[in-house]
Structure 1
Amino acid sequence: MKNYLLDNYRINEIPFGKWPDPDGGRGTEIYDDLSWALSRCNKQQKFIKVLADSRFICSTDYLGPSRHYALKAGLSEKEIIAYLKVTRTIGGHTIWPKSMVTESRLYTINQARGGRGGLSDRIDSTLFCLKEWFNDSNSVTRKGLKKSFTNYQVWFDNFIDFADFISFFKLEMFLDKDEIIDLVKSDLSVNKIVPLISEDYMVPHDKAGYQQFVNNVNALIKMRTLIFSHYYKGEKNASDNYPQKFKTKAWMFDD
């Protein structure tokens, strides 16, 4: 599948800190491709409610490990590019509301996820907070996340519950037995699955720990990209092509 960073930009000619961000709204390649794929794996009426509602302006968001924290943990630019080969494919992105037509400056989920004040861009912790918010909005302790979810409650009202949200965006692989997988403490290469039990924003400071975090995220993004690739091929019941319960697949951990 296409890589929306490496296939579109000559990053070897651009300083590391100035690499472009391929994420964007309607009209950008990643947004249009992802929304097309989601339109094929959801009922039309549901898709229209979530992603064709003129009240909202939506944008893609990257699900992969932060380059900033990878560099701080000791990964080289070459090692970062290696994991971006996976994470910047279609499965490494989702869509959030960016603003409402009537309220253009609302604090966004994308803003709230970033940095230590948020969740260090960890997708597992983001989903954990969202699950908490769906169950009881007052239970979310990360104030930025709580505020951003509440800002877009009308958008989230399109989903029956957290499970419905997960199903719509094809994020099932980030869960095991209805629990969010802790992508820092787990080691999916040996089927070690640790459930996330708190709004953890920490990322590993050591290279080995961060690389394991990367490997876990990559494995799940590969699975999600595979799902979307089946829809692109026009196959029906594409979701049946991945295991409902996580099982180790050697190809998920290949470079």
Structure 2
Amino acid sequence: MKFKNYLFDLYPEYPIGFNLEIRKDPEQYSKQLYDDIEKIFFSKEKLESLKFNSIKNKCQNFGHGDFYTLFIDDGKYRLSSDYIGASVYWAKQAGLSDEDIVEYLMISRTIGGHIVFPRGQGTTVNKARGGDKAYYDRFDLTLLAIKKWYLNDDSKINYAIENYRDWFALFESFDKFVSFFGLEGFIYDESIIDLVSSDLEKGLIIPLKREDIYIPSQKEEYRRYFNNSNKIIKDRTEKLDLI
């Protein structure tokens, strides 16, 4: 079964014009991605469950190119898409080939590889979790930080979550946040799955118990991380595509 791929849809003549180094970012350029996020995660029933009245996908331009944003209740909350797959940058640092990375992106850039976070009130969760100063864009560590916030515990990006506490408070608990965004695949036996240490293809599931900030630097270890992430994303895409 073929699902929409928001990265390669931006390149109708793919592979012509596609370059990993200067690829277009669906979080900025893909109207289809934002339309699908609106449809899947913010149906009328889901909006009402959060006591919202409206949502609209708008294209904005602040002098450095167009980008899309979801406006809830005329801007009470502004939501930007965030890619939750394994980082391409760190994959290249670990020595994976462009061909391997493109094959991975064929799955990770479907709907299951995306979520939304609010912006407009200081450093966002999206920005805080990136790079070698935080979580290397690892989504398992991001989920652990969000879980810690709901439990009134601290994490390295707690300040960014606090910037948007009104948003996260809407979901009341970590379990409800996970359910709302269809993130159950990242959870096993009430624990977040460690995407680096686990080997899901072999049925080995390691729970992420603490904020152990690490990114694989060896090719095969990063490939396993890629595969773990993609397995969950593929399952999530199949589930969300039915909505």
Q: Please, what TM-score do these two structures have when normalized by structure 1?
A: 0.81
Q: How many aligned residue pairs are there? A: 221
What's the RMSD between the two structures over aligned residues? 2.0
| Partner amino acid, structure 2, of 1:13 | G
Q: Which residue of 2 aligns with 1:128?
A: 144
C-alpha separation in 2, matches of 1:82 and 1:153: 37
Moved more, 197-206 or 107-116: 197-206
Deviation by residue 1:76-104 (Cα, 9 ceiling, x = unmatched) = 001000000000001100010022xxx4x
Structure 2 residue 85 is matched with structure 1 residue 64: yes
Return the offset for 1:216: 0.4
Which residue identity lines up with residue 3 of structure 1 in the other structure? Answer: N
Between Structure 1 and Structure 2, which shows a larger proportion of strand residues? 2
123-132 vs 16-25, greater mean Cα deviation: 16-25
Per mean C-alpha deviation after superposition, the further-off stretch among 197-206 and 38-47 is 38-47
Find the counterpart in structure 2 of residue 109 from structure 1: 125
Query: Is 1:146 the counterpart of 2:158 in the alignment?
Result: yes
In structure 1, give the amino acid aligned to 2:114: H
- How far apart are 1:157 and its partner, in Å? 1.3
Preserved contact between residue 24 and residue 30 of structure 1 (Cα < 8 Å): no
Q: Distance in 1 between matches of 2:228 and 2:155?
A: 26
Q: Write the deviation string for residues 176-197 of structure 1: whole angstroms up to 9, x where unpaired.
A: 0110000000011121100001
Q: Which residue of 2 aligns with 1:239?
A: none
Report the identity percentage: 37
Could you say if the C-alpha distance between residues 201 and 11 of structure 1 is closer, same or farther in structure 2, counting changes exceeding 3 Å? Answer: farther
> Tell me, which stretches of 5 or more residues in structure 2 are unaligned?
56-71
- Contact persistence 2:80–2:118 (CA under 8 A): yes
Q: 1:216 aligns with which of 198, 223, 228?
A: 228
Distance 1:131 1:11, change over 3 A: farther
Query: Is this contact kept in 2: 1:181–1:193, CA < 8 A?
Result: yes
More helix by share: 1
Q: CA shift at 1:201, angstroms?
A: 2.6
Q: List gaps (5 residues or longer) in structure 1.
A: 232-255
SS at match of 2:141: helix
Q: Could you tell me the TM-score, scaled by structure 2's length?
A: 0.85
What is the deviation of 1:16? 2.5
Kept in 2: contact 1:181–1:194 (CA 8 A): yes
Corresponding residue for 2:108? 87
User: How far did 1:199 drift?
Assistant: 1.6
Q: Work out the CA distance in 2 between the residues paired with 1:23 and 1:60.
A: 5
TM-fit CA distance, 1:43: 3.4
